[in-house]
Every structure is written in C-alpha cells, then in structure tokens.
Amino acid sequence: MIITKSYETIFILTPVLSEEQAKEAVDNYRKLIKEHEGKMTNEEHWGLRKLAYPIQKKSTGFYHVLQFNAPTTIVKELEIAYQRDERILRYLTVTLDKHALAYLEKRKERFGKKEPKKEPAI
C-alpha cells in the first residue's frame, strides 16, 4: 500500500539566473513530482526577494513554492535533487497537516476573490 501525504516545498533559486533558466528549474521539479506519482495542488512564484542573510555571497533570490500530494518516498528524492542542483540556494519541504490544509483553502478563497494590492508606480 502506498501512503500519500500533502507536502509544501519552498526553494530559493540563485538570482543570477535568467527568467527562462528559473522557469526551467521549476519545470524540472514539477516533472520530478509527477514522475513519482505526485499531484500538484498549488504553485506560487514569489519572485526576486531579499534574503535575511547572505547565502553564497548573494543577498537576493527567486522564491518558489510548490504544494502537492505524493507518496512519502518523494521527499528523499526531492532533497537529493535539490542538493545536486547548483541553482538552488536553500530549500525546505514540510508535511501539511489538516490545520495547514484548512488555512491554505481559506487563503485561496480570500485571494481568489480579491485583487492583490498593486504597488504604487514610482
């Protein structure tokens, strides 16, 4: 019997990548999840953000969040892939419990109905 759980993984890509290279990296991880019989539930691209502290002499990075349902063996495979990829500065994968899933549903509903706040033009 295969046990599946809900997961959220966030990773930070190096800021020296072009937009195409960043998309390619995200596509590779999306494909890895699907190859291991995972199903994507949500995906967020947070864009280029300032890091709390320098990592590999870089002060910014591209943040990306993937939420998915998959067998428990996927975490090990994902972390091996992250460690081997030079484009990844940091990563974190967590299991989502019922409270986290309920929060994510409320968050989807709230942001699905409202327009996100636009930053004023300078």
pLDDT in tens, 48-98: 999 999 999 999 999 999 999 999 889 999 999 999 999 999 999 999 988
Residue 67 resides in a domain: yes
10 contacts 64 by C-beta, under 8 angstroms? yes
- Of all residues in the chain, the percent with pLDDT exceeding 90 is 58
CA separation for the pair 68, 12 (Å, rounded) = 18
Residue 19 resides in a domain: yes
pLDDT of residue 104: 82
Which of 116, 95, 117 lies closest to 8 in space, CA to CA?
Answer: 95
Residue 104 resides in a domain: yes
Residue 34 resides in a domain: yes
Average pLDDT over residues 23-32: 93
CATH number of the domain at 54, please. Answer: 3.30.70.60
CA separation for the pair 26, 91 (Å, rounded) = 13
The token pair at 77 is 């495979």
pLDDT of residue 1: 67
What percentage of the chain's residues is helix, strand, coil (to nearest 5)?
35, 40, 25
Residue 36 resides in a domain: yes
pLDDT in tens, 108-117: 777 665 444 4
pLDDT of residue 91: 95
Count structural domains, the chain.
1
pTM of the model: 0.80
